[in-house]
Amino acid sequence: MVQNKTAKSKQTTRTSKRNVSSTRAKEITASDKITLYLNEALAMENAAVERLQLRIKQTKIENVKERLRLHLEETREQQNRLKQLISDVGGKNPTKDKAQLPIPSVPKTMAKMIGRMMTSAELELKEAKEDAVIENAEIVLYDMLMHLVEKMGITSAISVLSQSLSEEKAMADWIKTNAPDILMQLWPEIEASIAKREEAQSVETLY
């Protein structure tokens, strides 16, 4: 008899949990979902603004600095567009959080060696590669967002997101197109570093 009561109690608990989960699921609206996706993009742009500001200060290459400044302005506009879209779909308090940007990390076994051997020119190349990775991640993000809003019937958001997508594609294309020129400008410093290292090794061999 006690076992039957226990079994019924457990069944009642499971049913209650399912009902609570079902109720919560019903409470999540399409507006809630698209607001979350838009805030995800906004968090990415919040982090991108911070990185771009740092990159502008760091780079010594003038045409890179100019292009980064232009993209910083575009990114701030992208933030504003996302905030407006969040408001348009009924969302409140656009996020001020910053996402973790998709920057590739080197294995721990290589990190110390890279830190010891890398010149400022090589650091610039590393940052340029990371810029390209971030831009392509944002392209995927905006492309996915456009498909989502279309499926959810929020057609007014498509053209807004399309503008941001075009800007990200243009920046990614610029990095790819200008990569050879950037390397050419940085190569003398890298070449001098290699020569200096080889000379030091030759001296060590003599002694």
Q: pLDDT tens digits for the chain (207 residues)? A: 555 555 555 565 565 556 545 545 557 787 899 999 999 999 999 999 999 999 999 999 999 999 999 999 999 999 999 999 999 999 988 999 999 999 988 888 887 777 777 888 999 999 999 999 999 999 999 999 999 999 999 999 999 999 999 999 999 999 999 999 999 999 998 888 877 665 556 555 545
pLDDT at 31 (0 to 100):
83
pLDDT at 5 (0 to 100):
55
Domain boundaries, the chain: 29-206
Element (H or E) spanning 26, and its range? helix 2-27
Whether residue 42 contacts residue 149, with contact meaning beta carbons closer than 8 Å, is answered with no
pLDDT at 22 (0 to 100):
52
Return the DSSP state at 100: P
Contacts 24+ apart (CB under 8 A), 72-81: 74/167, 74/171, 75/45, 75/48, 75/49, 76/49, 78/45, 78/164, 78/167, 79/42, 79/45, 79/46, 79/49, 81/160, 81/161, 81/163, 81/164
Identity of residue 77: E
By C-alpha distance, which of 198, 143, 145, 187 is closest to 169? 143
- Going from the C-alpha of 98 to that of each of 41, 43, 60, the distances in angstroms are 10, 5, 26
Fold of 29-206: Ferritin (1.20.1260)
